[in-house]
Structure 1
């Protein structure tokens, strides 16, 4: 048996060596890719990259290979961009070449290359232009959207008052508040926090996003064909997305029955209107599949990440009550207690603005960003990146770039304040990515965080039963995503 085992091991090593030599002799077209760890045939860098913690694995590799390196997800190369300089040079200075969208991690096959999140080429350009125009028409970036958020912030305050000082997990109420903003845009109305359909919708979205950033999604990237047939939690994703799509289809049907082409009420009406205008165009991008996936894209971009960032922000203020106290002071000075906070207040509140930027930077809820695709053979920093290569913009390495942030691993609002205490921008602040594929909901997310946070702090002091020094603000890493650790807080009226 020992002899048989030795021969098996020898045969395995011989086969691996043969394939490595063969690949080297054939000089594949990707031989001038950026450097990276040695890969094995078929497995790629599976042994060097921990799929349970992809973020940490890439962080470790960037310390060795930065600013640009290559890892192999199975047989396919992925180029990783590290640091503000490399990310900006690729996504902004070479926006066209790096402006494609790679396969989204774990995304259901029926949704790939539809909507605005995972599509490419003319479809993406057409749908992105339409979505941006529709969002502007329904107030994004305007006073009307500000008023919607202000109203929802008051509903959130009322929900918090009902806790009557008891400790609670803020996840649900924050998720409900933030999601209601995108609901008002897409469906034309908000939902009560106790609405069963609303709770079901958010549950489906939460589970879908969780699985798309799970280790199982990474395995689908390594071995897409194999993972389609193997059992595991990743198979639930199709069911969740099917249920989510069913909810959307029901809402679309209700809109069709009451549609007034001359008076669109929301995003769905606008899309249905466009479908009617182009019903005789066989190549039109305005059809049900794109509508459904666009709605999913808007929800996932405009709900999950914003509510997670807000939840992280409250945790950070629990940990640093002196920072909360300074925000309270600025709120009392600029806004007072008797009127709603508004966006015009932000420029008069440099410390609060700095804290909010630092929450975005420190929370870093999408550390690897959404994968890009190189649209043509590209020369980049002396390397050749072939058309169709997946690119990961490692946003964490910009948000923690020591050349831009003095204490990158610490929560420090001074990163966004000058010597006079005035707010200052930093070009390495890229939580929403950059270039052609920058998050289309960036302005909405910034508005939401400012108005929700200032409204909550205008009305409440944050309390915790924990010793402040013992509050753990380090993130929970879920393969390629980061979340605040579970916590409870109580709110006391001011």
Structure 2
């Protein structure tokens, strides 16, 4: 008994001494919540977690602070100055992605979003060049977006002003834009495989950023053997990959003898061109992951932005009316207008930007990883540390926005009503890892939003003064499910 007690005391003392030694060796790291053995300081986030948790932590510990995920440091950059310093002034130092258990299961270190090094550079460069090619000409992606916007407007019209689930309708629209971009075709909303694809995307996104996501990264060896939403999330990713492989095989069977028409065509051509290059990363597995990335990053984010846009128009009828008047005055009876036409409608453009700022659709930017030891604002950030850019804090930074917690389109207008670009408007991130699909998202949001506002007036269902504006808090922050009435404007209502 005495020996056992002594052994326990010695082991406990050794653990405490080791822990204290670690604390001392990390004394130059940015400050943060109390770090505990095994779990680190994650406890501070999990207790009473909310949309403002990270902003509150910044007020307590400063704009650069550390949260320990077990024994791994996670450095959070809060506010415009800190995020700019990390992503722009030190862009090359923070251009890697962490290889966490969930990121490994999702990205497998391939594709664009979660790859690193030579693979990332080749895949990202190809993605940028190809998206630019697909955006040109009458057959370009803008034409496809116009077609989907038309289909969406028709679906709203079919409801004849009755309450409908806007999220479902918008999801179908945006998912088909990505289908057109990657596979060169749209799918009927009644198609069973299309339904499965949409549901798989929902399962993947619904898991990301949740408590189970955190637990999966902390205890992957345990969670892999337990049921839960993490299983559905990873299964969702695998279904999208399987869907992509089937479409790739169709493209290979009916190989284009003409100019490539979609992302898959261009990628297969790139594989052929680089067959003899030993350093090439162009292969079918990277193509599959690139497609998964395009769906994962290109559907939920744009869908959520548009979902917030309609909700905000219903809740702010005076803003909606001003947007409609400007669209009517500028475009009249013109059948279609393009993304370039945004310069003609400064108020509408300002409203879209303010929706993206005020109802930012991510909890924070996709995590990065420090590629070497860096000193930032007098703090030591070690190589391998995970870095989170709190983009929400940038979009709510009181130093850069006159009324950060109010919905105010004037944030993007000068005294003469001209549209003004704002340096602190960073919903797509900044630096080397800025969102690949930024331009695509901007085009989608503008064309779909203006088409819908030109055709309908959006209102809360009868008997409801306003639709609930509090978001669901996970990695993405959509509104709670709601219904909305799309009243045709030619009805005189």
TM range (shorter): over 0.9
Pick aligned residue for 2:154 from 151, 155, 158: 158
Pick aligned residue for 1:175 from 167, 171, 174: 171
The alpha carbon displacement at 1:342 in A equals: 2.1
State the match for 1:358 in structure 2: 354
C-alpha separation between the residues in 2 aligned to 1:437 and 1:141? 27
The alpha carbon displacement at 1:142 in A equals: 8.7
Where do residues 456-475 of structure 1 align in structure 2 (5 Å cutoff)? Answer: 456-465=452-461, 469-475=465-471
Pick aligned residue for 1:392 from 377, 388, 391: 388
CA RMSD of aligned residues (A): 2.5
Q: Does the 8 Å CA contact 2:313/2:320 hold for their aligned counterparts?
A: yes
The 3 A distance-change label for structure 1 pair 288 and 418 is: same
State the match for 2:476 in structure 1: 481
Where do residues 55-454 of structure 1 align in structure 2 (5 Å cutoff)? Answer: 55-103=51-99, 106-107=102-103, 109=105, 111-139=107-135, 144-260=140-256, 263-454=259-450
The alpha carbon displacement at 1:288 in A equals: 1.7
C-alpha separation between the residues in 1 aligned to 2:78 and 2:384? 20
Q: Deviations over 1:291-324 (max 9, x none)?
A: 1110011111211100110001100111110110
Q: Deviations over 1:223-282 (max 9, x none)?
A: 333333333221222322222211111111111111136532211111111222223344
Higher mean Cα deviation, 206-215 or 272-281?
Answer: 272-281
The alpha carbon displacement at 1:427 in A equals: 0.8
The alpha carbon displacement at 1:179 in A equals: 1.7
State the match for 1:3 in structure 2: none
C-alpha separation between the residues in 2 aligned to 1:115 and 1:52? 35
Q: How many residue pairs align between the two structures? A: 485
Gaps of 5+ in 1: 1-7
Q: Deviations over 1:102-161 (max 9, x none)?
A: 236834526331100100111101100011111111116998332222222111111111
The alpha carbon displacement at 1:16 in A equals: 7.1
C-alpha separation between the residues in 1 aligned to 2:131 and 2:100? 24
Aligned partner of residue 97 in structure 1, secondary structure: helix
Q: Does the 8 Å CA contact 2:73/2:386 hold for their aligned counterparts?
A: yes
The alpha carbon displacement at 1:210 in A equals: 1.3
C-alpha separation between the residues in 1 aligned to 2:354 and 2:410? 9
C-alpha separation between the residues in 1 aligned to 2:9 and 2:326? 66
The alpha carbon displacement at 1:366 in A equals: 1.2
Q: Does the 8 Å CA contact 1:261/1:273 hold for their aligned counterparts?
A: no
C-alpha separation between the residues in 1 aligned to 2:19 and 2:335? 69
State the match for 1:492 in structure 2: 487
State the match for 1:36 in structure 2: 32
Q: Does the 8 Å CA contact 1:103/1:371 hold for their aligned counterparts?
A: no
The 3 A distance-change label for structure 1 pair 14 and 312 is: farther
Q: Does the 8 Å CA contact 1:319/1:468 hold for their aligned counterparts?
A: no
Aligned partner of residue 44 in structure 1, secondary structure: coil
Q: Does the 8 Å CA contact 1:106/1:218 hold for their aligned counterparts?
A: no
The 3 A distance-change label for structure 1 pair 374 and 26 is: closer
Q: Does the 8 Å CA contact 1:157/1:459 hold for their aligned counterparts?
A: yes
The 3 A distance-change label for structure 1 pair 441 and 16 is: farther
Higher mean Cα deviation, 119-128 or 47-56?
Answer: 47-56
Aligned partner of residue 366 in structure 2, secondary structure: coil
C-alpha separation between the residues in 2 aligned to 1:349 and 1:393? 32
Aligned partner of residue 483 in structure 1, secondary structure: coil
C-alpha separation between the residues in 1 aligned to 2:251 and 2:48? 42
Higher mean Cα deviation, 372-381 or 13-22?
Answer: 13-22
The alpha carbon displacement at 1:51 in A equals: 7.3
Q: Does the 8 Å CA contact 2:472/2:478 hold for their aligned counterparts?
A: yes
Q: Does the 8 Å CA contact 2:205/2:476 hold for their aligned counterparts?
A: no
C-alpha separation between the residues in 1 aligned to 2:240 and 2:8? 46
C-alpha separation between the residues in 2 aligned to 1:203 and 1:60? 34
Aligned partner of residue 285 in structure 1, secondary structure: coil
Aligned partner of residue 100 in structure 1, secondary structure: coil
Aligned partner of residue 53 in structure 1, secondary structure: coil
Higher mean Cα deviation, 315-324 or 408-417?
Answer: 408-417
C-alpha separation between the residues in 1 aligned to 2:412 and 2:59? 26
Gaps of 5+ in 2: none
Aligned partner of residue 207 in structure 1, secondary structure: helix
C-alpha separation between the residues in 2 aligned to 1:15 and 1:62? 36
Q: Deviations over 1:403-450 (max 9, x none)?
A: 111221121111111122211111111111111000011111111111
